[in-house]
Amino acid sequence: MKKLVNTLVTASVIATAVAASSVITAVKVNANLDKVSYNYDVWENAKMTEVTLYPQTTIKFNDKEANNINQDAKAITAEIGALYNGSKIAFIVKWADGTKNITTGNCIDRYADGFAMQFASDASNPKQLPYIGMGSDGRPVVVHLQKEAFGTYEPNGYGNVAHQVNPNQTDLFGKDLANFNKKVKALATNDYERSFVAEGFRSTTEIKDGSNTSYARIGYVGKGWEGTLSRPLKDAYVDLNAAVIPVALAIWDGGKLGRNGLKYLTGWTAVKLEGKTGSEELLASLTEKSKGDAAKGKEAAMNNGCTGCHQMEAQDAENLMGPGLKNIGGYATADYLRESLVAPSAVVVPGYNRNAHSSFPWYNLEDGKRVSTMPGFDYLEQSDIEDIVAYLQTLKAEVK
């Protein structure tokens, strides 16, 4: 009897948890979008769309305090608007954040609020989009990152702000420190903007070949942040000249010790370039809600041992034999979930970390290629796979 009650409760939760995915409209404008900031009039033309960002719980972070703070993190929402002209596309992002966190050059234990926008280098096959967390082998992404920084000074341009002066030894080094601080003040910039190409966390490479002409800004307005990104429709790494493009948004909350993988993330979200036609297949894939039966899928997941390796719901053990799936429905497409089940090595979750199960790696290297240790479930009935995909799509935190 107890089991039946459980099933009924689950079914009703599932019915309310699923909402249709948002589609962002990029409005065509006859305006210069080369260097737009959040306080520009041009944004009056934008149509704002609400998107939901989920706590990244795939990879466990290596910081006990941060993990505790973010243990039961809820999803957050942001508003996105987009504009485009003949050569550029620009985005504005707004999100609420009651605490304004800015890093200072000398602190390594405080983190800044910030945002990043991610673009797929190749979206021609909607069934094989890059892994949402920083791309994956053979499926690169371009990431534009901007965060509020307080006077960063990087003499060599590589992001190192370390210096050799001990601020406590003012009698010995006081003069050096005063000189250093004076120089920093003169040269420092609060514009942190960086752009990267990545095929997984470990491959993240800053674009420094001179080809990057993107322009991002961020500012604290009222009780939250407003950020903008303007970038070419086409550059050396991405071609966004299509009717629909997949874009993902990440937001960091410095007040919750967010940095690197500790962030909020949307799934690949469709941006429709107004006035262009085509890309129907991509749009369908980005907004697809599986027609499988989620309640049956939950049962199939239990019967097939998924929870032996994965934390799927909050009450499941977090044994780290595989990535956490608590929020997978928030940032994975149905097509990605199908591929994960039947061909685990097609995308191997990058950034296997030391906190994970020490005697059970997530992948092995075979001929230099990462091969997943997850068994493929291609032998399951098609209907079982569809039910599991429908169930996985329900796994996501509520909005705060």
Rule CB under 6 A: say whether 103 interacts with ligand HEC: no
Q: Is the dihedral of CA 346, 248, 311, 288 positive or negative?
A: negative
Nearer to ligand HEC, 271 or 349 (CB): 349
The window from 25-33, 261-269, 286-294, 372-380 that contacts ligand HEC (CB under 6 A) reads: 372-380
In the region spanning residues 46 to 65, those forming contacts with ligand HEC, defined by CB under 6 A, are 58
Binder of ligand HEC out of 341, 390, 395, 397 (CB under 6 A)? 341
- Is the CB of 187 or the CB of 360 nearer to ligand HEC? 360
Q: Name 64's Cβ contacts closer than 8 Å, sequence gap at least 6.
A: none
Instruction: Tell which one of 285, 296, 362, 390 touches ligand HEC (CB under 6 A).
Output: 362
Which is nearest to 300 in space by CA: 394, 376, 385? 385
Provide the terminal-to-terminal Cα distance of the chain, rounded to the nearest Å. Answer: 33
Given the complex with ligand HEC, which of 167 and 308 has the nearer CB atom? 308
Binding marks (x or -) toward ligand HEC, 291..330, rule CB under 6 A? ----------x--xxx-xxx----------xxx-x--x--
Beta-bridge partners for 218: 227
Nearer to ligand HEC, 147 or 326 (CB): 326
Site for ligand HEC contains 374 (CB under 6 A): yes
Instruction: Using alpha carbons only, give the angle 206, 212, 218 rounded to the nearest 5 degrees.
Output: 80
Q: Which has the closest alpha carbon to 101: 254, 224, 262, 252?
A: 254
- In the complex with ligand HEC, the residue whose CB is nearer, 91 or 201, is 201
Spatial neighbors of 106 by CB under 8 A, at least 6 apart, are 161, 167
The Cα-based distances of 310 to 102, 298, 313 in angstroms read 35, 13, 9
Under rule CB under 6 A, residue 344 binds ligand HEC = yes
- What does the alpha-carbon distance between residue 125 and residue 395 come to, in Å, rounded to a whole number? 25
Q: If you search the block for the tokens 């970038």, which residue do you land on?
A: 231
Encoded one letter per residue, x for contact with ligand HEC by CB under 6 A and - for no contact, window 250-289 reads ----------------------------------------
Give least dist CB 252 to ligand HEC, A: 19
CA atoms within 13 A on the CB side of 327: 27
Q: Catalog residues that contact ligand HEC under the rule CB under 6 A.
A: 58, 301, 304-306, 308-310, 321-323, 325, 328, 337, 340-341, 344, 347-349, 362-363, 372-375, 377, 388, 392
